[in-house]
Chains A and B, each alone.
Chain A
Amino acid sequence: MNSEEQRLQQQRKAARKTAVVLALVAVGFFAWAVYKVATHAA
C-alpha cells in the first residue's frame, strides 16, 4: 500500500468518525424536540 492509499484509508476512517458524531447530533435534536413538546405546559 503506497502512502497515498494509506492517506486515503485514514481519510475514510476519519470520515466514519465524523459520520458517527453527526448521527449522534441528529438523534440529539430528535430527542430535544420530543422533550420540549412532552414537557410543555399548555
Chain B
Amino acid sequence: MSHDITHDEIAHDHHDHDHKPKGFVKRWLMTTNHKDIGTLYLIFAFAMFIFGGAMAMVIRLELFQPGLQFVEPDFFNQMTTMHALIMVFGAVMPAFVGLANWMIPMMIGAPDMALPRMNNWSFWILPFAFAILSSTLFMDGGAPAGGWTMYPPLVLQGGHNVAYLVFAVHLMGISSIMGAINVIATIMNMRAPNVGYLNMPLFVWTWLITAFLLIAVMPVLAGAVTMLLTDRYFDTSFFNAAGGGDPVLFQHIFWFFGHPEVYIMILPAFGVISEIIPTFARKPLFGYVSMVYATAAIAFLSFIVWAHHMFSVGMPLGAELYFMYATMMIAVPTGVKVFNWVATMWKGSMTFETPMLFSLAFVILFTIGGFSGVMMALAPVDLQYHDTYFIVAHFHYVLVTGAVFAIIAGAYYWLPKWSGHMYNERLGKIHFWWSTISVNVLFFPQHFLGLAGMPRRIPDYSTQFAEFNMWSSIGGFAFGLAQVFFIYIVWKTVRGGEKATAEVWEGAKGLEWTVPSPAPYHTFEDFGPVDLDKMAHGKTH
C-alpha cells in the first residue's frame, strides 16, 4: 500500500473499539452505519422472501390437482398479485440494496455511504410500505387481485385496496430512489483517491448502472399509479376509455418502467456472479472492460424494448418489427457476459464451494431463461405464448435461478466476511443440490404447460395439465423447504463456527478481503490511496 499504515492495521485496531451504539433503538432504528443498514435490508428481504414464498405455496397447493380445493378464485388472484409485488419490491430489490450497502463502501475504500442519514430513511420506509400493502389482505374486498401489472380497468374494479396499493408503491419508489441516489453519490464521490472507475469491482459497476435505471423508471411508475388513483377517486379519465382515456397507454407507461425493472433485478446479480467466478477459478475476470460496456448496453437497450410485453395488445406492424428486433439485440451483450464467465473458468484452477456452485447454476439456468426470452421476442409466436405458463416458467428462470440464486451465492460468499465465521460447507452443498433439483422440478414443467396452452393466473385447469402441475407443486414445496434449511445454515453460521480469516477465500481479490472478518464496524479510518494491486481490477490502467 502506498501508505503503509494500512487500512488493515487501522481497521484491526478499531475492531476492539468499534464504537457501536449501545441499545437496540440506537443501534438499529437510528443507525447510519452502512453495515447495519445492509444487515437490516438483508433480514427484511429474507422475511419478505418467506412471506411471498408462503403465498407461492398457497398457489401451488391449489394447483396441485385440477378443480377448486383450498381457496376461492378471488383469493387465488390476490395471492398471485401479492406474491409478485412482495417478491419484486420486497425481496429481490431490497436484498440487492442490502448487498450494495454492505459491500460497495468496502470495495471502493469509502468510510460509509455518502448520505448515511438518508440511507437510514431509505430502509425504514420499507416496513411501512409493506405493512400498508399487506393490510389489504384483511380488508373488505381483500388485497389487490388484478396482477402486479395493475392494468386498468381491472385493477380499479377491486375495493379500496387501490389506494393502499398506490400509496405502498409510492413509498417503495421513494425508498428505491433514495437508495439509488445514495449508491450513485457514493460511487461518484467517495472512492479512495486513486481508485478510478475502471478499477472498480464489477459488482460496483453493475450497481452504478442499476441505480441510474432506478432513478429513471421508478418515478415513471409513480406517475402512472398516481393517475390510476385519480381515475379511481377523482373522476379523471387518463386510462378510462369511456371518458376519452386510453387503458393501453397505461400498459406502455407500465412497461417503460417494467422492462428496465427486470434489469434492475438482474444487473446486480451479474455483478455478484462476476465477483464469485474469478475467485473460485483463481483467474482474473475475462474481459473486464467488455463486461462494463455490456452492462451499459443492456441498460440502454432496456429502455427501448418495452412493448415486447404487449405484442398481443395490437400495434402497427412496423412497431412489432421494431420491438422484436430491438429485443433480440439484448442477447448480444448478454451473450458477451455469459461467454466471459465461461472464458474466466477456462483453464482455471476451479474449486466448487457453495457460492461457486450457485454461480455455475446461475450461468446455466439464467441462460435457459434468456433463451426462452428470445423465443418470446418473436412477435408472431409470442401470440401463442402470451399469458400462458410458458411466460411464468421464463421469468421464474430469470428471477429465481437468476436473481435469487445470485443473492444466495452472494450470501454464502460474503457471510464469513459479515459474521466472522465460516458456514458449514457440507450443509451449504446440501442446500445447493436440494434447491437446484427442486427449482427445476418446479419450473421446467411449466414450459410444457404453457406450450400446451395452460393460461397463467387461474386457480383451476383442464385435466390434461394435471400431471405437470402435480410435479411443479412437488418441486415448489421442496424448494420452499430448502429455503427454511437455508435460514438454519445462516443462523448457525452467525452464532458460531470456524473462524474466518481476512481473505476468507484463497483466490479472492478486492479491498473487502483486506479487512478482518467480521469486517470492523468502521471499516477504514485511513482515507488515503489504496493498493491497486489488491483490487480485483487494479491493473486495468
Contact = CB atoms under 8 A, between A and B. Distances in A.
Contacts of A16: 114-115, 185
A15 B224 CA distance: 30
Contacts of A18: 114, 181, 184-185, 188-189
A42 to B, nearest CB: 4
B220 A33 contact: yes
A28 B223 CA distance: 11
Interface string A1-14: 00011011001101
Contact of B218 (A26, A31, A37, A42): A26
Contacts of B220: 29-30, 32-33
B217 interface: yes
A19 B114 contact: yes
Contact of B111 (A8, A27, A29, A30): A8
Contact of A33 (B184, B224, B527): B224
Given A19-B181, A29-B215, A11 B114 contact: yes
B224 A19 contact: no
- Among A11, A12, A23, A31, the most chain B Cβ lie within 10 Å of the Cβ of A11
A4 B249 contact: no
B238 interface: yes
B181 A22 contact: yes
Nearest to A40: B249
Contacts of B224: 33, 37
A7 B528 CA distance: 10
B241 A29 contact: no
Q: Is the interface of B mostly helix, strand, loop or mixed?
A: helix
- Interface size on B, as a range, is 35 or more
Nearest to A30: B219
Contact of B253 (A4, A7, A8, A36): A36
B177 A19 contact: no
Given A11-B189, A22-B181, A33 B215 contact: no
B186 interface: yes
A14 B191 CA distance: 12
B526 interface: yes
A38 B226 CA distance: 12
A41 to B, nearest CB: 9
B216 A29 contact: yes
Contact of A4 (B189, B222, B527): B527
A15 B114 contact: yes
A16 B215 CA distance: 16
Contacts of B246: 40, 42
Interface in B230-279: 238-239, 241, 244-246, 249, 253, 256
B369 to A, nearest CB: 28
A14 B216 CA distance: 21
Given A15-B115, A37-B224, 15 more contacts: A5-B527, A11-B189, A15-B186, A15-B190, A18-B181, A23-B177, A25-B215, A29-B215, A29-B223, A30-B220, A30-B222, A32-B220, A33-B220, A34-B227, A37-B238
11 contacts: A4-B527, A8-B111, A11-B190, A12-B114, A14-B189, A15-B189, A16-B185, A22-B184, A26-B177, A29-B223, A37-B239
Interface of B: 111, 114-115, 118, 177, 180-182, 184-186, 188-190, 193, 215-220, 222-224, 226-227, 238-239, 241, 244-246, 249, 253, 256, 526-528
Q: Give 4 closest A-B pairs by Cβ, nearest first.
A: A33-B223, A15-B114, A30-B219, A42-B246
